[in-house]
Amino acid sequence: MACRQALRFVSHPLSSDPYSHPAPSHHDFAAQRAVRQPLRFVSHPLSSAPEQQAPSHRVRHHDSDTQHPARRPLRFVSHPLSFEPYPRHASARPVLGPPDNSYSSKPGAERGWLRSLLDEAIAEQTGVGDAKMQWTVMSFCEKVFLRFGIKLVGWPPHIPFQNLSDGPVTVDDIRELIGLCERDSARPSEPAKLRFVAATPEELRAARSDATRACPGPLFPPASPSHGYDNIGRRALRLDEDGRPTQPRYERNGPKSAKVISDEEDGEPSVNVAEEDLPPMVTQWGVRMLWCHGVWRYIGEGELSD
């Protein structure tokens, strides 16, 4: 047999290795596996972090203090859109005083002040710190009147007992109630006019059957009196056959009294005719009238002076 020549690995023409580079043997691969260099993590060119050496997998026992530093306690930071910081503390009772700037309007601040005054009055009477005033019929009867056995006295009869926000209570009524809740500075020992007192067993029994018996004031404002139409005593417009307004038969210039006459004006003594410049007038119905203080008044029998 002819002698075999040793094989030579010729590199590719585009390869950078020289032609005389010997082919790697099996022993060379075994030597490269025995000696392994530790891996190194190369940071990205745009990253600012330095190069770090990968931890060796052969080291199984490590110090926890050096590998994992002490963790800091978590801090709860409130959200930028949150209205309250974290942690939330228990809210204290509002301090009584004049209206502050936390309300959008002055009437709203006065309503809040009145609510705070009555809340403090209930807490002082019952000893329950979280007791609240109720402003509807059923809630006041159940949560204030029957629960604590107290009633609210001194409520003005002309102010209806309804919700302060959407009821017929005006700003002047709220200011009047605030003045009744406050104590007199000259006599601080005396209680306020609008205050809570203990209810009797008869009142509690009546409130269980009818909730309106527990309300301190009227539920609705009093109805306004009816004084009649505004066109009473006036001539109605009449048209002829052609649609033109007709003239009245006679001029209606008789006296017309006011709709409401106060008790002071009604109780005034009869006036003397001699003190007036205008003579008495007799209407078409035979009624004698007298001009006095800018209005015509009826003259009764025996009031005309000679």
pLDDT in tens, 210-226: 998 899 988 876 677 77
Section 228-246 average pLDDT: 81
Least confident of 149-158, 255-264, 266-275, 292-301: 266-275
pLDDT in tens, 76-88: 555 554 444 434 3
Supply the pTM of this predicted model: 0.44
State yes or no: pLDDT of 109 exceeds 60: yes
Asked if residue 115 belongs to a domain, the reply is: yes
Asked if residue 70 belongs to a domain, the reply is: no
pLDDT in tens, 117-169: 999 999 999 999 889 999 989 999 999 999 999 999 999 988 989 888 877 78
Asked if residue 61 belongs to a domain, the reply is: no
Do 117 and 204 belong together in one domain?
A: yes
Nearest to 165 by CA among 112, 203, 101: 112
C-beta of residue 286 within 8 angstroms of C-beta of residue 292: no
Parallel, antiparallel or unpaired: strands 40-41 and 195-198 = unpaired
Do 193 and 279 belong together in one domain?
A: no
Give residue 275's pLDDT: 47
pLDDT, greater one: 99 or 146 = 146
Asked if residue 210 belongs to a domain, the reply is: yes
What's the domain range around 279?
271-306
Do 202 and 295 belong together in one domain?
A: no
Asked if residue 63 belongs to a domain, the reply is: no
Do 302 and 210 belong together in one domain?
A: no
Give residue 67's pLDDT: 55
Section 69-80 average pLDDT: 57
Given 198, 214, 230, which residue is the final one in a domain?
214
Which residues are CB-neighbours of 215 under 8 A, at least 6 positions away?
Answer: 137, 140, 141, 161
Asked if residue 300 belongs to a domain, the reply is: yes
C-beta of residue 268 within 8 angstroms of C-beta of residue 262: no
What percent of the chain has a predicted confidence (pLDDT) above 70?
56
What are the angstrom distances between the C-alpha of 72 and each of 68, 87, 181, 218? 12, 18, 54, 63
pLDDT category at 92 given cuts 50, 70, 90 is very low
pLDDT category at 274 given cuts 50, 70, 90 is very low
Given 214, 243, 261, which residue is the final one in a domain?
214
Measured in whole angstroms, the distance separating CA 157 from the mean position of its chain's CA atoms is 26
> Per this entry, what is the length of the chain?
306
How many structural domains compose the chain?
2
Q: Can you give the CATH number for the domain in which 179 is found? A: 3.90.1460
Do 208 and 129 belong together in one domain?
A: yes
Cα separation, 257 vs 265, in Å, equals: 12
Asked if residue 116 belongs to a domain, the reply is: yes
Section 244-271 average pLDDT: 70
Given 170, 197, 214, which residue is the final one in a domain?
214
Best mean pLDDT range from 58-67, 225-234, 235-244: 235-244
Mean pLDDT of the chain: 71
| Residue listed under structure tokens 């038969």 | 249
Asked if residue 19 belongs to a domain, the reply is: no
Reading the block at residue 15, the tokens are 């390869």
Do 199 and 277 belong together in one domain?
A: no
Give residue 297's pLDDT: 74
Do 201 and 115 belong together in one domain?
A: yes
